[in-house]
Structure 1
C-alpha cells in the first residue's frame, strides 16, 4: 500500500515537473515573440527602444483609468465627476445615511461655488409643500401635467443595455418621473416598467422613419396613440457632441437594436449632424406643429446653446405666428454633457455650459413674455441637490439627468461607455458583463435616487424659507467670485436682449446684446 502511494506521489511530482517545464518554455517563447515583435514594429517608439519592458507603460496607462479614482484623485478634483459627488449619488441610490462629519471638503472660496441664503425662519415640516404640478402643452389636445422636478434624460436602447433600460423604466414608474427614450427608438423595455415616456426624435428619426429616413406620419401617429408616451422631443443637438449626430459603434448594433432603429445589424449607427428637413427656425416650428397635430401631445426640442441669434429669430417668428405656434418645451443641454460617444474636440471645446446658457435663455423668454408658455428642461452634470436647486432658482421648470441615474445603476466612471466593455453592464451588450446588473434591485436604486434628490432640493428650499423647490429664485443664491467673496446671482446673470421701441411692433426683430 505504501509502495502504491510512493508511486502515485512520484507520478504527481513528475507531471508537475513536466507542467512547470512546459509553462517556463511557453513563457520563454512568449517573451521571445514579444521581443521580436517589439524590435521589428515601427509604430511605437517606446516598445522599439525598450522591448518587452516598454509594454508595461501602455498596460499601466490603461489601468490608470480604473484605479486613478481610488488611489490618487482627491475627493473634489476628479473629472468629469469627482468622488464626493459620486459618493452622494451612491448613498442616495442605496437610501443610506448621506450625512458627513467634521465639516465640508468643498473649498467655499473657489470661484463659481454656489451659496444658498438661508432664512432666519426656515420652513417647518408641517408647512412644507410638495413640488407644484406643472402643465406642459396647454394648447395640445393631450397636455401633460407632472409634479416631478427631476427626471431621467435621454439614453437610447443600444447605447445602454436591456437590463439598464428595464431598471430605469421600472425605477421611473416607482419614482413618478419620466424617462426619455433617447434617439434610438422605442424598445419593449422602455414600456415594460409602465413609466411616463418622452419619445425623442433624433436626426436619423429612428422609430418614426420610412425606408428613406424621412419622418413617417403613420408611425408617428401609432406612437402618439400610446398612453405611456407623454411628449415628443426633437433633438437638434446634445451636450457631448454639438454639431454631430449620434454615434453607436458597430459592435453595439445587435439584431434587435437594428430592428428597432430600422438599420442593418453589425454596422455603425451614425446619425446626420442635423435634421435635413429642419434648416431654419421656420422649419423647426413647422415640424413642431406637424408632430403636435398628428399626436395631440406636447412637442419641444433639445439643443445645446452656442450661437444665440437663432433663438432670437425663433422668438421673433413665434411673435408673428402667435403664441400657440411655440414649442411646448425647450430642453437645454450643457456643453459638458457626455453619456454619448463623441470626438474629444467637440466634448472639450464646442457649445456653452449650462451655467452660462440657462440664465441667458431664461432672460430671453421672460423679456418676450414666453416663459410661462415654453417650459424649460435643463440637463448637464446636474447630479447633486445644489446644482438642481440652482437650475430651479435660475428659471428651469424641470431638470434631467443621464449620468446621475447611471451612477444610481452602479456606474463606476470607468470611461468605457463607447467600447462595449462596460464593467457594470450598463453600456454593453455583452451578456457576461450584463449579468451583474439586476433590474429589480437597480430599479429600487433609481427610485431612491430620484426621491432623495427631490427631498434634498426641498431641504435647501426650506432652509431658504420657501415651502417648496419651485419657489427658489435667483435672489436666494450667491456665487463666489475670483476674489473669494460672493455676489448675488441677479447681479451677474447675463441679460438676453436690448429692447427698443420698435420691438413692440408686429414685424420687429429682436437683437442680442
Structure 2
C-alpha cells in the first residue's frame, strides 16, 4: 500500500479537525438554545419541548410558501389562485395563454358567473372597438378614457420606485390611466407620460399645508399638470373600510416622507375619514371645491356597506342640480387590497363587489343619475371573465391593482405590508429592487391590458354583441344554491326611474 503523502495527511487532519469543530459548535449552540428555552416562561411550546419546539414556528412561517408551490391545487389558493396568476403571467409575457383538456374551474359554487353564448356569434367583420364614455360632462376639462381596464390606486410608498416607473411607462404604452393612490404625486408617476388620476386620501397627502390641513393652492398646482385627468376622493378602500391608509415606518423613506409631508421612519397612519366630510351634503360640498379648483372630473371611492345614504345622496344631488353630482364613483370590493390592513376589517367589513356593484347601479338608475355618474368597479377583477361580469353588471370601467402587480412579477408572497418583497414590487430595499427592470415590466403592463381587452371581446362576440360595452345583465347567468343558474337580468332587474326624476 502506498503511504499517504504529508500534504494529504495534513489535509485529512484539517478536515477531521474542522468536522469536530463544526459538530462541537452545533452541540454548543444546541445546549445554549436548550437552556434558553427551558428557562423562559413566555412560550409553553419552547419550554416543554426545548429546541425541537422551535421547528413549529419555522414550519408555520414557511407553510404558506410550501402550500403555494407543492400542495394547493390550481384553483384552491386565496386571495388569487395559481390558475389566475398564471393567466396574468402568461398574458403579460405575451405568451400563449390557451389551456387544454378542459377547464379546472369549479362551475358549481353559488354566484359563479356563466356567460350566455348565442347560437350565432358576431362575425369578425361586424365587431367594433368599445366606444369611450365621457366622465365629467359639466367640467371645463371632461375626460373620455378608452381603456376598459386601468391601474387602481397604489401609492408611491406602498409600491417601490421601479414599480411606479414601470406602471407609468406601461400605462402610457397601454393607453390606460394610473391612479396615484393616497401618497401624493411622485416624479415617477409623471415619468412615463401616462394619464393620471390623483387620489385625495384622508391625510390629504400632496394637497396639504405644513400643518397637515387641506390646501386649495396645492390643488391648483396639481391641476395645472396636463397629465392629471381626474381627482378621486377616497372615502374608504377594500382592505380597510372605516380606517385610513397604513404605511409602516420602515417603508417611509426620506423621499416618501418629503412627498407626503411627514417624518421619515415614522408610520404613515391616515385618519379614518375626511374631517371635512361628515354627511352627504358635506361630501357634495367637498366635490364642488375640488372640481371648481381643478376644472377636472371629480368623484369618490368607497366600499359599500349600508346603502341608504346613497339614496339620500341622489336626492341631495337633484335638489342642487345634477351638475353638482360626483362625476364618477369607484366601487371597491371588501376583500382586501395591496397594503397593510387589520384582519377584522379586511375579512369581515363591507360588501363584496358581486353584491355592491349591482346595488349602486340600481340606485343611480332609480334616481335617473346612471348616465350622469360614471361607475368604476374595483376588486379582484384580473381576468377577462371578471371584467366582463363588471360590464354586464353596469360598470363603465374597471380598475385593478393586484392584476398589475402580477404583471410586474409579484408572486403573492404576502409581504406587501413589510419591506421584504422578494420581487421588488413593494419594497424600498435597493438590493431587492434590482430585479425589477421598469423598461421590461412596462411592456408586460401593456401586454396585460391588451389581453384583458382581447379576452373580454371574445366573451362579448360569443354573446352576439359587437363590443364589450354592449354586454348587459341578460348576457350573464349566476349559479344559484340549488345548482341551477339564473339570468342576472332576472336576479337584478333594471329598475324603473322614479317618476319625479324622469
TM-score of the two chains, using structure 2 as the length reference: 0.97
Aligned-partner SS, 1:135: coil
Q: Does structure 1 residue 109 correspond to structure 2 residue 115?
A: no
Alignment map for 1:425-464 (pairs within 5 Å): 425-464=424-463
Superposed CA offset, 1:170-229 (max 9, x none): 111100000000000111111111111000000000011012221111111111000111
Residue 338 of structure 1 deviates from its aligned partner by 1.8
Superposed CA offset, 1:302-340 (max 9, x none): 000001121111111101000000011000101013211
Alignment map for 1:305-344 (pairs within 5 Å): 305-344=304-343
User: C-alpha separation between the residues in 1 aligned to 2:164 and 2:42?
Assistant: 41
Partner of 1:165: 164
Does structure 1 retain, via aligned residues, the 8 Å contact 2:368–2:501? Answer: no
Superposed CA offset, 1:345-395 (max 9, x none): 001100001111111110111111111110000100111111100100110
Q: Does structure 1 residue 396 correspond to structure 2 residue 395?
A: yes
Residue 498 of structure 1 deviates from its aligned partner by 10
Residue 71 of structure 1 deviates from its aligned partner by 1.1
Q: Does structure 1 residue 155 correspond to structure 2 residue 128?
A: no
Does structure 2 retain, via aligned residues, the 8 Å contact 1:360–1:494? Answer: no
* Unaligned residue ranges in structure 1 (runs of 5+): 506-513
Residue 496 of structure 1 deviates from its aligned partner by 7.7
User: C-alpha separation between the residues in 1 aligned to 2:210 and 2:473?
Assistant: 49
User: C-alpha separation between the residues in 1 aligned to 2:25 and 2:245?
Assistant: 45
Aligned-partner SS, 2:426: coil
Aligned-partner SS, 1:330: strand
User: C-alpha separation between the residues in 2 aligned to 1:493 and 1:20?
Assistant: 73
Q: Does structure 1 residue 351 correspond to structure 2 residue 357?
A: no
Alignment map for 1:209-358 (pairs within 5 Å): 209-358=208-357
Superposed CA offset, 1:236-255 (max 9, x none): 00000000010000100000
Residue 47 of structure 1 deviates from its aligned partner by 1.3
Aligned-partner SS, 2:98: coil
Superposed CA offset, 1:7-27 (max 9, x none): 443443343333333322221
User: C-alpha separation between the residues in 1 aligned to 2:206 and 2:21?
Assistant: 56
User: C-alpha separation between the residues in 1 aligned to 2:261 and 2:485?
Assistant: 53
Does structure 1 retain, via aligned residues, the 8 Å contact 2:322–2:372? Answer: yes
Partner of 1:191: 190
Aligned-partner SS, 2:335: coil
Aligned-partner SS, 1:342: coil
Partner of 1:61: 60
Aligned-partner SS, 1:132: coil
Superposed CA offset, 1:239-282 (max 9, x none): 00000010000100000110110000000000000001111111
Residue 434 of structure 1 deviates from its aligned partner by 1.1
Does structure 2 retain, via aligned residues, the 8 Å contact 1:205–1:214? Answer: yes
User: C-alpha separation between the residues in 1 aligned to 2:494 and 2:76?
Assistant: 32
Does structure 2 retain, via aligned residues, the 8 Å contact 1:360–1:495? Answer: no
Partner of 2:45: 46
Partner of 2:136: 137
Superposed CA offset, 1:449-493 (max 9, x none): 011001100110011111110000000111111111110112212
Does structure 1 retain, via aligned residues, the 8 Å contact 2:365–2:497? Answer: no
User: C-alpha separation between the residues in 2 aligned to 1:442 and 1:23?
Assistant: 45
Q: Does structure 1 residue 94 correspond to structure 2 residue 99?
A: no
Does structure 2 retain, via aligned residues, the 8 Å contact 1:173–1:193? Answer: yes
Distance 1:325 1:240, change over 3 A: same
Superposed CA offset, 1:277-303 (max 9, x none): 111111111111111111111100000
Aligned residues: 501
Residue 433 of structure 1 deviates from its aligned partner by 1.2
Residue 130 of structure 1 deviates from its aligned partner by 1.0
Does structure 1 retain, via aligned residues, the 8 Å contact 2:366–2:497? Answer: no
Partner of 1:127: 126
User: C-alpha separation between the residues in 2 aligned to 1:430 and 1:146?
Assistant: 35
Residue 497 of structure 1 deviates from its aligned partner by 9.4
Q: Once structures 1 and 2 are overlaid, which stretch shifts more, 34-43 or 176-185?
A: 34-43
Aligned-partner SS, 1:331: strand
Q: Does structure 1 residue 474 correspond to structure 2 residue 480?
A: no
Distance 1:300 1:498, change over 3 A: closer
Superposed CA offset, 1:34-60 (max 9, x none): 111111222222111111111111101
User: C-alpha separation between the residues in 2 aligned to 1:504 and 1:142?
Assistant: 27
TM-score of the two chains, using structure 1 as the length reference: 0.95
**Aligned Cα RMSD in Å?**
1.8
User: C-alpha separation between the residues in 2 aligned to 1:497 and 1:255?
Assistant: 54
Does structure 1 retain, via aligned residues, the 8 Å contact 2:368–2:497? Answer: no
* Unaligned residue ranges in structure 2 (runs of 5+): none
